[in-house]
A and B are shown apart, each in its own frame.
Chain A
Amino acid sequence: MASVCFYFQVHQPYRLRRYTIFDSDADYFDEYHNKQIIHKVAEKCYLPANKLILDLIRKYEGRFKVAYSCTGVLIEQLEQYAPEVMSTFYALADTGSVEFLAETYYHSLAFLHSRKEFAEQVSLHCDLIEHHFKQRPSVFRNTELIYNNDLAAFVAQMGYRGILVEGADHILGYRSPNFLYHPPGNPNTTLLLKNYRLSDDIAFRFSQRSWAEWPLTSEKFADWVHQVNGNGYTVNLFMDYETFGEHQWADTGIFTFLEHLPERIFDHPDDDFKTPSELVQTHQPSGELDVPYMISWADTERDLSAWLGNAMQSNALYELYRLEQQVKDSHDDDILRDWRKLQTSDHFYYMCTKYFADGDVHKYFNPYESPYDSYINFMNVLDNLRARLR
């Protein structure tokens, strides 16, 4: 039998307002645009997608199930700007067929710079999820699926039983992402690998008319899933939630595709849907997966170069985390929150100079004309934050 394991990433950063060297107030964030973007994405994606998924769960009486990872900064913004979306997430949580995963509250790169900060953010996030959805996450996903052996060891020690990992070719080699694995020396922690081919068929290629398989129908996709039988037991489909309605607009037929997918999957009596923690409970890891260096799900490189690829990015991150002790010693909650909001990985993604000239996915809701503008703005804000610590 083959299971489909859906996990959707739900995240929006607090984008910074234009902040020059001549500004001196402590209002760093662009409330107007952040609100506007939340409204837009809520209308095009969160509301219709949540409704559809709720309908499907009810229709199939719990046999259809999914997992979400909602960042803390997203939940804060939804509460503030679009509380109606929060109530649809509550409804989803109440069905018992929806799992919420753990991650860093601020969708940060903290693991790379401060284990202490990382642990604090993960626990903040779990508290938030438990508070809203009445379940404590047991499976962890790091920002942008950034992962290596060290992360596995650290997260396992924090008590998580499963971790989501990018199923990159250069990690898996001949092995298939359709099995579960465990990190070296730790058979009790389960690694769930993203099937990036099938995930990207939905997330990126769905509306690509030049693609040989276009148009992608639910039947065709369900057949591809079924073919996994004999070479694995799960198809992990990990993607941004904005795939539905925002990256792929409604008129591409993406909602119709999702609507009919469960039916087509159930056409094969052995196939079903499972959440990450169900997979962890059902299967023993099939082998060890050694990931000595950092990987992620970003770009074709699947490495850290989207956030740490140039001197500006490493400098900005270094300068930011250098303030950690001072920020925490200040015992000023406003400063702590502002410092943490600045950790959101998007700020560093905007500074990426890879493919800058081509215009691509890096431009998605990017408020800056150039990576240089984004660095300058960020450093001006950081300057002010530093001044507040004196």
Chain B
Amino acid sequence: MKILMLGWEFPPYISGGLGTACYGLTKGMSQIGAQVLFVLPRPAGGQGGSRIQILSPSDLQAINAASADIPADMPNVTIKAVDALLQPYTGQAQHARHLADLQAIHQAGQPAGGHQPADFVDLPPSAVHYHGDLLKEVRRYAQLVANLAGEHSFDIIHAHDWMTYPAGIALARATQKPLVVHIHSTEFDRSGKHVNQAVYDIERQGMHAADHVIAVSHLTKSICTARYGIPADKIEVVYNAILNGYQPLNGQRVTIAKGEKIVLFLGRITMQKGPEYFLAAAKKVLGVMENVKFIMAGSGDMTRRSIELAAAMGIGHKVLFPGFLRGQDVEKVYRMADLYVMPSVSEPFGIAPLEAMSNDVPVIISKQSGVSELLTHVLSVDFWDIDEMANKIVAVLRHPPLQATLRQHGSFEVRKLSWQDSAQQCIRVYQSVLSARPNSPAEPLANPA
């Protein structure tokens, strides 16, 4: 079976969990013998090249050389990059810079690629929260992808998150191949009550146009049924996982000061991730314990407000903001942490706790997260219950046996999760979708593992 996947980020160009999830799922697919053609927007600022670039696994390895922990042993995967700027969380200024880079590349005499306007790609004209150009880029990506129709053969289209849905719809119409959309998050998770109508419309259109919907949790599935009007039997829940053989660090634990405990927040500092609940709990913890520091690693539109909030609460000296961390810095910060807290207000899944657990860090997760459906050897709290969050933070810091038990069972639990299992569940979805179509019987896997 050959799958054409549409994504918007892939390591090392990632801004969050989506790239990690796409990478893991693709690798799982490859390991069970499925052929994947992964199409993603090529990040601007790279070396110039043709408009559509085919990267071989060795090229991918070259890209990945910077982050040595990502292997490129994916024999059944082809990566295709098209020029579009799908980076929803960059600021306006950064986006303009990328756009200028792209234009420079195009003006340097690249072939136009012969793409006609795809009039069936129906996009709203503008968006407020996402810089206007992003929606243009989404449309351009859709056109570029639609042009791939004749160039490659595949059985099914699998589109990851809203920015790829117009592309998925266009390609599905052009090729008559079935479309599966994968919901890693919804506009309601990202924006709370201030939903961007344009983005919502694209999500809704994608889910309705799809032959089947994959949601990363039952929490997300329930949003799809309640807010997007998708029948429950059209949605399959496939949980994310963590890469097999993920090597936890064996090195010495690092501390800031002797006897000082460290509580870690790691993720985008945005409304969705609940930074203010983390700070409120920190304030309570510091009321009963002295020797604790709180690290808020990440960046986002609430970074500044969080710094100000910490100062206003009088705990500024106890909260550190190291900014967005990558690669080894992430490992280092895990090595420092006594506890990882994910206080998300709304988290469709939440891969970061799995990473923390495989780094032997005990975790507290919000009950409003998809991953809480899956994990048992964690502490879970309602994100709004800051008393309970503080209560649990203090308990973990004070009682080494609690830490030890969470670590011991948690690392077993997380090792049981495998991307191959998630990939297998996706394959079952494809097979049922394909067999529902009279003219395209499902092919068996080329070489099942």
Please state if A373 and B379 are interface contacts (CB–CB under 8 Å).
yes
Q: B384-417: contact bitstring with A at CB < 8 Å (1 yes, 0 no)?
A: 0001101110110011111011101100010000
Please state if B392 and A376 are interface contacts (CB–CB under 8 Å).
yes
Give the CA-CA distance A316 to B399 in the complex, in Å.
10
Give the CA-CA distance A370 to B406 in the complex, in Å.
11
Q: A296-330: contact bitstring with B at CB < 8 Å (1 yes, 0 no)?
A: 00000000000000111011100000000000000
Q: A359-382: contact bitstring with B at CB < 8 Å (1 yes, 0 no)?
A: 000000000011111011001100
* A373 cross-chain contacts in B, Cβ below 8 A: 379
| Distance from A385 Cβ to chain B, minimum over Cβ atoms (Å) | 16
For chain B, give the interface size range.
20 to 34
Q: Which of B387, B395, B408 contacts A376 (CB 8 A)?
A: B395
Give the CA-CA distance A254 to B377 in the complex, in Å.
37
Give the CA-CA distance A316 to B402 in the complex, in Å.
10
Please state if A312 and B284 are interface contacts (CB–CB under 8 Å).
no
* A314 cross-chain contacts in B, Cβ below 8 A: 401
Instruction: Tell me whether A21 and B401 are in contact in the complex, defined as CB-CB below 8 angstroms, given that A370-B376, A372-B406 are known contacts.
Output: no
Instruction: Tell me whether A22 and B284 are in contact in the complex, defined as CB-CB below 8 angstroms, given that A356-B376, A372-B379, A376-B391 are known contacts.
Output: yes
| Distance from A2 Cβ to chain B, minimum over Cβ atoms (Å) | 45
* A227 cross-chain contacts in B, Cβ below 8 A: none
* Chain A residue, CB-CB nearest to B381: A373
| Distance from B172 Cβ to chain A, minimum over Cβ atoms (Å) | 39
The SS class assigned to the A binding surface is helix
| Distance from B408 Cβ to chain A, minimum over Cβ atoms (Å) | 8
* B387 cross-chain contacts in A, Cβ below 8 A: 20, 22
* A310 cross-chain contacts in B, Cβ below 8 A: 401, 405, 408
Give the CA-CA distance A280 to B220 in the complex, in Å.
64
Say whether A353 faces chain B, with CB atoms less than 8 Å apart.
Answer: yes
Give the CA-CA distance A369 to B392 in the complex, in Å.
14
Give the CA-CA distance A41 to B380 in the complex, in Å.
30
* Chain A residue, CB-CB nearest to B394: A21
* A371 cross-chain contacts in B, Cβ below 8 A: 405
| Distance from A17 Cβ to chain B, minimum over Cβ atoms (Å) | 14
Please state if A21 and B376 are interface contacts (CB–CB under 8 Å).
no
Say whether A387 faces chain B, with CB atoms less than 8 Å apart.
Answer: no
**Residue among B378, B388, B400, B402 with max Cβ neighbours from chain A (10 Å):** B402
Please state if A20 and B391 are interface contacts (CB–CB under 8 Å).
yes
Say whether B112 faces chain A, with CB atoms less than 8 Å apart.
Answer: no
* B376 cross-chain contacts in A, Cβ below 8 A: 356-357, 370
Interface residues of B in 361-380 (CB under 8 A from A): 376-380
Instruction: Tell me whether A312 and B402 are in contact in the complex, defined as CB-CB below 8 angstroms, given that A21-B288, A370-B376, A370-B379 are known contacts.
Output: yes
**Residue among B379, B390, B401, B406 with max Cβ neighbours from chain A (10 Å):** B401
Please state if B395 and A353 are interface contacts (CB–CB under 8 Å).
no
Give the CA-CA distance A370 to B398 in the complex, in Å.
19
Q: Which of B377, B391, B394, B405 contacts A311 (CB 8 A)?
A: B405
* Chain B residue, CB-CB nearest to A23: B391
* Chain B residue, CB-CB nearest to A310: B405
* Chain B residue, CB-CB nearest to A379: B399
Give the CA-CA distance A22 to B390 in the complex, in Å.
9
Instruction: Tell me whether A353 and B409 are in contact in the complex, defined as CB-CB below 8 angstroms, given that A21-B394, A315-B401, A380-B391 are known contacts.
Output: yes
* Chain A residue, CB-CB nearest to B376: A357
| Distance from B285 Cβ to chain A, minimum over Cβ atoms (Å) | 9
* Chain A residue, CB-CB nearest to B404: A311
* A21 cross-chain contacts in B, Cβ below 8 A: 288, 390-391, 394-395
* Chain B residue, CB-CB nearest to A309: B405
Give the CA-CA distance A311 to B409 in the complex, in Å.
11
* CB<8 Å pairs between A and B, sample of 22: A20-B387, A21-B390, A22-B288, A22-B391, A310-B401, A311-B402, A311-B404, A311-B405, A311-B408, A312-B399, A314-B401, A315-B399, A353-B377, A357-B413, A370-B376, A370-B379, A375-B395, A375-B402, A376-B391, A376-B395, A376-B402, A380-B395
